Amino acid sequence: MTRAAASVASPTNMLRRFVPPRRLPAGRVDVLPGFGVPLPVGPLGKTFKEAPLGRIGNLEVRLARTVGEVKRAQELRFRVFYEEMSAIPDAWTMVTRRDADAFDAICDHILVLDHDAPEAKPFGKTRPRIVGTYRVLRRSVAERHDGFYTESEFDLRRLLDAKPHLEFLELGRSCVLPAWRGKRTLELLWQGIWAYVQRHRIDVMVGCASLEGTDPSRLALPLSFLHHHCATDAEWAVRALPERYTAMDRLSKEAIDPRAAIRALPPLVKGYVKLGAKIGDGAVVDHQFGTTDVFICMPVKEISKRWVDFYGADASRRAV
């Protein structure tokens, strides 16, 4: 490898392609720990990364193929999390107008693209618009770097250590542009996830799911419902980190109206519950994103049979 090529492929340069450098007081660039070894070109093989995972009419789901597409997904996340919702940007996020962190460089990014709503490119060319995204990270990749994002809020280590033979998949950074928040877009995102699960023989899906707002007392109904009706059993127990723990059992089980509680759940959390997801012990208030987060756990073998039957053993069969 030439010196120039080695420089381009260095961990620092790879990280900078996704994440704006953050200047420390001394003026040096802060590259997060765990990136002292070369980052993978892509967690997936070329064939799977290039293949569409599904399509319904003008909407297609597939993995991001280029750094540019990851950046466009980050721009979409900025629009939803920072402009539409109440996340608080730092200076670099405001300048770049991208929701970016170090995990983006080692994750795969599931995209929904609309071929009937193209975006302009230079020289008069166009490209399909990215209208929805999900970020996914496999355990086999995470453990070569700094672990999972979820571990910044929840004590996942005990569960991981108890099940060293299982492949975990972290789900995160899910968002869809307002005009595309219909059934088809969400269906395609989940079709992409299921194809990914099948391709990599995923055993367990985990992650943080968010309820908008940072005052748990105002979220008493949905939090209490999740605590009393959707809690993990001892085998899959995960607890919020002690310094971030917020109690969820704010109402007694008898005081909860289940129908009202389900209506109060955000669509994403409601979708997880319908799939059979279980919820960890304790919530975490994320002041930067303006949310209260809960831990979700979905062992693949326990996912709702109705959902599995809908997509089938080979989710990509529905691609056209």
Structural domains in the chain plus CATH codes:
1-39 (no CATH), 40-318 (3.40.630.30)
Residue 256 CA: distances (Å) to CA of 248, 252, 262, 278, 279: 13, 7, 10, 18, 17
183 — pLDDT class (breaks 50, 70, 90): confident
Output the pLDDT for position 49. 59
CB neighbourhood size of 262 (10 A): 16
Does 8 score more than 60 pLDDT?
no
Burial class of residue 17 (count of CB atoms within 10 Å of its CB; 0-12, 13-18, 19+): middle
pLDDT of 70 higher than 60: yes
Res 6 pLDDT > 70: no
Average pLDDT, the chain: 84
pLDDT of 187 higher than 70: yes
Question: How many whole angstroms separate alpha carbon 187 and alpha carbon 305?
Answer: 16
What's the average model confidence in pLDDT over 158-168? 97
Q: By three-state DSSP, how is residue 231 classified?
A: strand
Which letter, b or e, does each residue of 270-309 get, where b requires 16 or more Cβ atoms within 10 Å of its Cβ? ebbbebbbbbbbbbbbbeebbbbbbbbbbbbeebeeeebe
pLDDT at 233 over 90: yes
Residue 312 has a pLDDT of 59
pLDDT band, residue 51 (cuts 50/70/90): confident
Of the ranges 111-120, 266-275, 288-297, the best mean pLDDT one: 288-297
Which of the four pLDDT bands, split at 50, 70 and 90, describes residue 176? very high
At 267, list the tokens: 């669509």
The pLDDT assigned to 311 comes to 67
pLDDT score of 307: 76
pLDDT > 90: what percent of the chain?
A: 69
Average of per-residue pLDDT across 100-120: 93
Six token digits for residue 183: 């059934």
Least confident of 28-32, 173-177, 233-237: 28-32
Task: Look at residue 249 in the predicted model and tell me its pLDDT.
Answer: 97
Entry pTM: 0.83
Q: Give the separation between CA 190 and CA 113, rounded to whole angstroms.
A: 14
Helices (H), 144-257: 157-162, 183-200, 220-229
47 pLDDT band, cuts 50/70/90, is low
User: How large is the average pLDDT for residues 174-199?
Assistant: 92
Mean pLDDT of the region 122-146 = 93
Question: What does the pLDDT read at residue 48?
Answer: 56
Instruction: Give pLDDT, residue 32.
Output: 32
* pLDDT over 60 at 86, yes or no: yes
